[in-house]
Chain A
Amino acid sequence: MSHEQKKVIEVLGAEKSFGAIKALNGVQFHVYQGERLALLGPNGAGKTTTVRALSGRVHLDQGSLQLLGQPLQPGRIGVRSQLGVVPQEIALYDFMTGSENLNIFGKMNGVKGDELRHRVQWALDWTGLSQRAGQKVSGYSGGMKRRLNIAAAVLHTPSVIILDEPTVGVDPQSRERIWQMLNELRDEGASLVLTTHQLDEAQSMCDRIVILDHGRTIADGTLEQLIQQTVGDNRQVVIHSENGETLRHEVGDIGRELPILLADYASKGIVIRDLQVVTANLQAVFLQLTGRELRES
């Protein structure tokens, strides 16, 4: 990603406290035009507060937020009309059809008349729900609801789309379909910011990764950059002993160091039940930076 590209989102020194809890403590990152950015972090890291601040639902104590070069101010629509926000919950009206839901949310986002009709038809085709458009949402599967949930946020063709856990709770096929949809949006020029707990998803689908912890940005870069900054070229050897212990070792030269490691265990009388060599990946980076597995957090 060229740094000469235009920044569509800039978060500078964002701070926010809720009573005694400091939710954001200097969060800082940016998003380039057409980029897919993953926002990662353990629970309580500040992801949701950051997303809510960008959505205009949280007023920062300190710092600033910019969208397309203009300041974002809570309670004012202004440039925020260029933003599409997909909430984590399925926020749809169950008693209405898919088509009716799209019409309602399209109107609320300022889309009218022929444009609305075209956009709704586009959204139905895009989500693969054209055949089910006239059915009530209550009869949709989880994956269909998720797709409609995303579509309802992009009817006004926003430049930047924020997605909070867009694939949570869906089966692998639906997940694949959702990513296909998001890639189409990116291909049309939209920038995507998404929070996720799926590290493999962030690793394979996003251009850049920002990791938050304790309300701070602790890492920001492409996967390769993050690996270099943290675990480097090392591999992780995970050994499961017969007495149930899990032991981890960082090794640089696997061919030379692994036999020595195994001999050492044998000399100590430790019987190895299983062994894994883990290539440097996002999970290793995350573990290195936060000291926790994402699913443990």
Chain B
Amino acid sequence: MITIIQLSWIKLRRDRVALSLSFLLPVIFFSIFAVILGGRSGGPSTRPIPVALVDLDQSELSVRFIDQLQLQDGLKLKLYKETEGPQELLTLADAEQMVRSGKVPVAVVFPAEFEASFSFSMEAQKAVTVLFDAADPVAKPMVSGLLQAAAFKAAPDFMMRSGMEAMALYCCELTEPQKAWMNRDDVGQAASASMGDSGLVKVETTDIRSEQEEPPNLATYYAAGIGVMFLLFSMVGAGGSLLEEDEAGTLERILLTRVGMTQVLLGKWLFYALQGFAQLSIMFIWGWLVFDVDLMTTHHLLGFVIVTAATAMAASGFGVLLATIAKTRDQLGGLSTVVVLVMSALGGSMIPRFVMPAFMELTSKFTLNGWAIDGFLKIFWYDDPAQGLLQFVSGITLEVSVLCLSALVFLVLARRLAEKWQVA
């Protein structure tokens, strides 16, 4: 029995793929999910929510609110347009566009006469508008809550003054010494501290989508996320046919014909890209038939075809590249399991990106899953039906370009690595 144990230990020790699958991959996965779900050193579990902020009042009170909001770790305020030259404040239209395009999930708008109307009476208050996109279910309640918290920190004196005026109107006026005492700063702060967290600022929430528009469908996210993950697995498996051909001698035989290595790689890449396109198409058509994924509009269909083609080309290139890196089919299997699972976890294929910490938003940019999911969400979640087709397509240029460029880089690298099968 000891000999059998010894034999198994030697086998495991010398199989680096099995070793990494057994010990490294679980630890990597545990770490990724622990970070996503907030178990890391008690730190903040969610990313700061980007918020577009429009101040139509430009009053002392609105500025104090904004100052308070800026102190919140959970928010990342955007007050200015992203233009070169002198800074320009965001307008209401800018904010609406930013939410609709998915640049921010929420916009907060302080109305004109916000300060003038601010009082204990909710009816008299001009409401702060929170424009939101239901695509991100976390952002709206979080921002609304933080806005209420900011109200108590920003405006205790305004609250008291308003209360005193109401008292004078309906009951009796305070004496001058009483008014002077109430106007002291420390009284306002003490009042603020005693108020706790119950809210008193009037907030109206508005979904950026019109009533005719469908709310975002989470099934779309998973069609993209899961679809891309399995696409990568399929493409790596398919790319492995190169190694199979090498082992069977058919690759050598092909290279003895008029067909060169570049043609072999391009032929395989193109076929697997077409296969990948079909694979993702079936996933989305199933989503459309069963889970109401909104596929059958001109905008969505066109966008889907473009992003799916780019994703399939990149995934196919990735599969071919991994096949040229690995020396054997077994090695490819182990390598691809580690790489695809880690990419999928970081890129948002397993857990929606809007619940991930901020830094993982950045890491997702290093994954094919991240770029593909971004492209699909821009089509299905952040599209504007009022846009023309050209404008709509230009909205996914970045994602499509990155995916196409990735495909090109993967192919160039694969061609270089494939020299090992070339002339000795």
Contacts and interface: CB of A to CB of B under 8 A. Distances in A.
Interface of A: 18, 52, 55-59, 74-75, 77, 81, 85, 87, 89-94, 105, 108-110, 152-153
B423 A108 contact: no
Contacts of A90: 249
A56 B252 CA distance: 11
Nearest to B423: A74
Nearest to A73: B423
Which of B248, B255, B259, B423 gathers most chain A CB within 10 Å?
B423
Contacts of B256: 55-57, 85, 87, 153
Given A87-B252, A90-B249, A91-B252, A56 B423 contact: yes
B257 interface: yes
A246 B204 CA distance: 107
Interface residues of B, number: 15
Nearest to A58: B424
Interface of B: 248-250, 252-260, 422-424
Closest 5 CB pairs of A and B: A91-B249, A89-B249, A108-B257, A91-B253, A74-B423
A43 B20 CA distance: 39
B44 to A, nearest CB: 54
| Interface majority SS (helix, strand, loop, mixed), chain A | loop
A75 B424 contact: no
B424 A52 contact: yes
A81 B250 CA distance: 18
Contacts of B260: 75
B252 to A, nearest CB: 6
18 contacts: A55-B256, A57-B255, A58-B424, A59-B424, A74-B423, A77-B258, A87-B249, A87-B253, A89-B248, A89-B249, A89-B252, A91-B248, A91-B250, A105-B253, A108-B257, A108-B258, A109-B258, A110-B257
A147 B260 CA distance: 25
Contacts, number: 49
A91 B254 CA distance: 9
A58 B421 CA distance: 11
A57 B421 CA distance: 9
**Majority secondary structure, B binding face:** loop
A57 B257 contact: no
Contacts of B259: 108
Contacts of B255: 57
Contacts of B248: 89, 91, 94
Contact of B423 (A18, A59, A87, A152): A59
Given A59-B423, A74-B423, A92 B250 contact: yes
B294 to A, nearest CB: 40
Contacts of A55: 256
Contacts of B254: 108
B422 to A, nearest CB: 7
A189 to B, nearest CB: 21
A20 B225 CA distance: 51
B50 to A, nearest CB: 53
A75 B257 CA distance: 11
Given A57-B255, A85-B256, A108-B254, 19 more contacts: A52-B424, A57-B252, A57-B424, A58-B424, A59-B424, A75-B422, A87-B252, A89-B248, A89-B249, A89-B252, A91-B248, A91-B250, A94-B248, A105-B253, A108-B258, A108-B259, A109-B257, A109-B258, A152-B253
